[in-house]
Structure 1
Amino acid sequence: MSGEIFQVTHRILQVPRETYLEVLAGHEQPFSEAGAQQFVEKYLAWCGEKNGVVGMVRIVEKEGTVILDAAIRYRISQLERPSCKS
């Protein structure tokens, strides 16, 4: 039996509050986890990354800046798994 293998990375983004709200214009609750996840998804798309799956996102507002700590999963093959490397 084989399962899927993911590598989890964290992205920490510091975004001006105005920019954050512009990107999420129309979102009902931009400072919710769902809003933060949507922002990170849009950021990844803007960067050209199509394979990342956004998980939990911690959001902190600090002095006109929004700080996002996002967990992003990337599907990898078994041979790329860190424990399989020699």
Structure 2
Amino acid sequence: MSKENSVFSRVEEREVQGEVFQVTHRILQIPQEVYLQVLKEHEAPFSEMAAQEFVEQYLAWCNDTGGLIGMVRIDTRDDTVVLDAAIRYRINPLDRPSCQRE
């Protein structure tokens, strides 16, 4: 199928103007007892929602209020919980790659 006949040829992409975000990853290695103490009220402490809540509380403790938490991956190793949190921060406008037709 040629590009012109593809269903995607009907998709209109608009370029973002103004502020954009930079995504960073925060890797947190947490003793399991600390993780469970922070989330003691949570029904499912090893769920993605609980992991995100832990990251929110941790960032507040660090006084890092400028980020928006995205996906959080959780992994357990022995007596340690490892969280990989993707966090978006606003930065100055940047050019970004696009699939738009020129």
Match of 1:69 in 2: 84
| Selected match of 1:24 from 35, 39, 48 | 39
- Residue 52 (structure 1) aligned with residue 38 (structure 2): no
RMSD between superposed Cα atoms in Å:
1.7
Q: Tell me the CA shift for residue 28 of structure 1.
A: 1.4
Larger radius of gyration: 2
Q: Tell me the CA shift for residue 77 of structure 1.
A: 2.1
* Gap regions ≥5 residues in structure 1: none
The residue identity in structure 2 corresponding to 1:5 is V
Q: TM-score, normalization: structure 1?
A: 0.86
Moved over 6 A (4+): none
Match of 2:58 in 1: 43
SS of the residue corresponding to residue 51 of structure 2 reads helix
Higher relative helix content: 1
What is the aligned-residue identity percentage?
62
Higher relative strand content: 1
SS of the residue corresponding to residue 46 of structure 2 reads coil
* Gap regions ≥5 residues in structure 2: 1-15, 97-102
Aligned residues: 81
